[in-house]
């Protein structure tokens, strides 16, 4: 995303050991040389990245509720999906919105991109704002089960307070929506 400005903090990778390679992530252990000359280990999760969309229709945010195995419960989130290897975010975002919700957008605008957990993972999410939505039929993957609803900004904040909406990308999208309603331009 940006150039490293403080080279004196750089760690130099001496070796990498692949631990696991799955469908969505891979895990490796890097041996690094620290700025003080000592060596240390870094556990790293590799991920191809993802796209997410703040889709507003009739002053309501489109969200999906689905079961999240790591949490052991359902979660309300904005529509999102992983990038295929080598896929550009601008190519994936319309596909993901259509697949999960059935909606299509006349235009998409990148609000900002962010890393989810840079202390151990390289996953980056590109958050888009969808404009001029048209309803249609969802095209869910065979192992994907979710419920699509539309909620107001007030309902979104209530769901955050209740813990039903607790992932970073969705909370960031709600905050961006609030800024947009106030006339600000998030991400610029």
| 187 within domain boundaries | no
142 pLDDT tier (thresholds 50, 70, 90): confident
Same domain, 85 and 96: yes
Residue 1 lies in a domain: no
- At 31-54, the pLDDT tens digits run 999 999 999 999 999 999 999 999
Residue 185's pLDDT band (cuts 50, 70, 90): confident
Q: What percent of the chain has pLDDT over 70?
A: 97
Instruction: Report the 10 Å Cβ neighbour count for 115.
Output: 14
Q: How many CB atoms lie within 10 A of CB 15?
A: 10
Are 32 and 72 in the same domain? Answer: no
Instruction: Tell me the CATH number at 100.
Output: 3.90.79.10
Kindly indicate the confidence band of residue 188, based on its pLDDT and cuts at 50, 70 and 90: low
Among this protein's residues, is 155 annotated catalytic? no
- Residue 186: is its pLDDT beyond 80? no
Q: Is residue 21 part of a domain?
A: yes
Mean residue pLDDT of the chain comes to 93
pLDDT-based confidence at residue 7 (cuts at 50, 70, 90): confident
pLDDT of residue 2: 66
- Which residues lie closer than 8 Å to 62 by C-beta, 6 or more apart? 55, 56, 78, 79, 101, 103, 133, 148, 149, 150
Predicted confidence band at 140 (pLDDT cuts at 50, 70, 90)?
Answer: confident
Of 142, 144, 150, 162, catalytic: 142
The SS3 assignment for 75 reads strand
Residues 96, 140, single domain; the answer is yes
pLDDT in tens, 97-139: 999 999 999 999 999 999 999 999 999 999 999 989 999 888 8
Whether 20 and 38 map to the same domain: the answer is yes
With beta carbons less than 8 A apart as the criterion, state whether 136 and 98 touch. Answer: yes
Same domain, 86 and 135: yes
Number of domains making up the chain? 2
Q: Are residues 84 and 169 in the same domain?
A: yes
**Is residue 97 domain-shared with residue 142, that is, in the same domain?**
yes
User: Does 105 lie in the same domain as 159?
Assistant: yes
Which pLDDT value is given to residue 35? 93
Indicate the pTM of the whole model. 0.90
Name the residue range of residue 79's domain: 50-181
């Amino acid at each position: 995303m940006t150039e490293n400005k403080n080279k004196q903090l750089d760690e130099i990778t001496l070796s990498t050991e692949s631990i696991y390679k799955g469908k969505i992530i891979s895990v490796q252990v890097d041996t690094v040389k620290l700025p003080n000359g000592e060596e240390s280990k870094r556990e790293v999760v590799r991920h191809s990245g993802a796209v997410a969309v703040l889709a507003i229709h009739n002053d309501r945010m489109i969200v999906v509720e689905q079961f999240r195995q790591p949490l052991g419960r359902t979660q309300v989130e904005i529509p999102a999906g992983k990038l295929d290897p080598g896929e550009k975010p601008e190519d994936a975002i319309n596909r993901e919105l259509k697949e999960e919700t059935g909606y299509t957008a006349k235009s998409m605008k990148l609000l900002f991109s962010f890393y989810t957990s840079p202390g151990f993972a390289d996953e980056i999410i590109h958050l888009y704002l969808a404009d001029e939505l048209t309803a249609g039929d969802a095209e869910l993957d065979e192992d994907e089960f979710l419920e699509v609803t539309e909620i107001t900004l007030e309902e979104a904040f209530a769901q955050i307070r209740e813990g039903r909406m607790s992932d970073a990308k969705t909370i960031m999208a709600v905050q961006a929506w609030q800024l947009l309603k106030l006339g600000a331009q998030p991400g610029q």
